[in-house]
Structure 1
Amino acid sequence: MAGCAVTLALLFAGAAAIASARGDGAAPAPRTPSAESADAGFARDMAVHHQQAVEMSFLVRDRTRDEDVRRLAYDIAHTQANQRGMLLGWLDLWGLPKTAPDGQRPMAWMSGGHDAHGTHGTAGTGGTERGGAGSGVHDGALMPGMATRTELARLGEAEGKRAEILFLQLMTDHHEGGVPMARGCAERCTVGVERRLAQGMVEGQRSELDLMEDMLAARGAKPRP
């Protein structure tokens, strides 16, 4: 009996300590981002951005026998498909639409109300990343770094080394457009787990950019200016 009493006393004391740390004894109410927030905007826009990276990775997989390029394409497709699922899952959890509110442009959640038309790389971010051709909103390219429909068609028709170079150049542009967006969330998003994911994207894609530059050099090519 005495042992039970001590155990109960310790349990109650622990519960009281946790309640005291929270301040009022109640679990804090979860904060749900608004549809116009950086958290929601990043989740929507990066999900679209990632989807194209997955598409390009599957395209090149069937256009080359080079194991290094196929391995990189698999890693990108696997990583970005998983991240895209997380982003869309958070929007579902928050009860928010997966499309932007009426009249809101892609990346409008970034400081200054980013206008993607005719921009490259880090417009609206203050950075100096490269932006690829086709990063403006035209021919299906919705955000900086995204390939156009014409470029995707070219990738789907290329073979061998030509396909490898085009994929590496397009994916370099794609990452250069995505890194500033991820950095923007790491700085502006309020949901901790999303900020950490965004920072991980920055680090992972910068590493892949270095790798792709080396792979292009090995094929006698360079990233596009």
Structure 2
Amino acid sequence: MRVLVAEDERELADLVAEGLRRHAMAVDVAYDGAAATERLAVHDYDVLVLDRDLPAVHGDDICRDLARAGARTRILMLTAAASVPERVAGLGLGADDYLPKPFDYAELVARVQALGRRSRAPVAPVLTRGGLVLDTRHLQASRDGRHLRLSLKEFAVLEVLMRADGAVVSAEALLESAWDEHADPFTSAVRVIISRLRGKLGDPPCIHTVPGAGYRL
């Protein structure tokens, strides 16, 4: 899942981003509305965690523009404006959910995960294909009953491949879905993770390279 955190309180923004990364999410951070707008124009995010009172471009304007454009990005407003009229106004702008500060972190993660599921075609939280089982809520994976000890990045890449349901996924699409904006598209990062996954998944091989196209599970 690809997430953008737009929050001008830098310490809070970084803490939220780091926590979401621990749940196998690829997270970018924008400290003002202008930076958030630029990133939204470049990347296809599943979820936007949006502070309403952003400098440069107000969070309300960002929310309104995404809603008008029909973007698939789901919006979680995270703000100190917590009264009922303010929540109603925020949801009226097009936000999908609203969480006032201060917040419980476990609740934030759960809400982001729920919105992420809504941003894609509906699938069960537990993915299965052949003998592979991937529990996206508890970050657990197994093959033929054997527990797999995967890194967060390996888990994220395997989730993208399983959600593709046998379709070919390009290296570029894997970078867009499982890495943040700091990933270098000219590195071998995808190839290295695929190699590690193949080793952990064992035989018979289940991740296949399609020359010139990408990878298929």
TM-score by length of 2: 0.31
TM-score by length of 1: 0.30
Identify the structure with the greater strand proportion.
Answer: 2
Tell me which structure has the larger Cα radius of gyration.
Answer: 1
